[in-house]
């Protein structure tokens, strides 16, 4: 699982670059969002330092922010354990912690358009960036 300190550091870095989207499982323990969103498997929330939110705190526990939903403010609480992805609108970088993603979002089989008999490693795939990070295009998978 991605650690709270990993996710916090990544969020703060992406936030410095600009608007950042948080991907979370709203069903997780400790998540507080509007009632109609609490069953969302894949909730996406945007954050920016330019939003000038009444409450916006990033701590070791997670993110607390006063967000507006259809014109109504809600004090949202998002623990790091509920977050499985971050996307920077500024740099187009996407960080994913697959082990923290809901199982409903994980691939369950092979691509039906690919014939297994003809499938071979692709030469254009990028090499590993580090021992725990694999980069494919703008996607960085953190293990």
Cβ-Cβ contacts under 8 Å for 46 (sequence gap 6 or more):
19, 20, 21, 22, 89
DSSP of 28-54 = STT-B--GGGTT-SSEEEEE-GGG--S
* Phi, psi dihedrals of residue 10, rounded to the nearest 5°: -65, -45
pLDDT of residue 65 exceeding 50: yes
CATH class of segment(s) 4-103+122-142: mainly beta
**Average pLDDT score over the chain:** 85
What 8-state DSSP symbol labels residue 14? H
* Per-residue confidence (pLDDT) for residue 133, from 0 to 100: 54
User: pLDDT band at residue 79, thresholds of 50, 70 and 90?
Assistant: very high
What 8-state DSSP symbol labels residue 128? P
pLDDT of residue 13 exceeding 70: yes
């Amino acid at each position: 699982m991605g650690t709270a300190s990993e996710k916090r550091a990544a969020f703060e870095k992406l936030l410095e670059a600009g608007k950042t989207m948080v991907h979370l499982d709203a069903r997780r323990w400790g998540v507080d969002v509007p009632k109609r969103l609490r069953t969302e498997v894949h909730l996406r929330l945007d954050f920016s330092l330019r939003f000038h939110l009444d409450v916006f705190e990033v701590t070791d526990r997670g993110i607390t922010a006063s967000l507006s939903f259809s014109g109504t403010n809600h004090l949202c609480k998002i623990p790091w354990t509920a977050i499985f992805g971050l996307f920077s609108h500024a740099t187009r970088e996407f960080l994913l912690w697959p082990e923290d993603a809901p199982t409903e979002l994980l691939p369950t089989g092979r691509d039906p358009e690919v014939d297994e008999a003809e499938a071979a490693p692709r030469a254009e795939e990028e090499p590993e960036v580090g021992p725990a990070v694999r980069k494919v295009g703008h996607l960085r998978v953190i293990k």
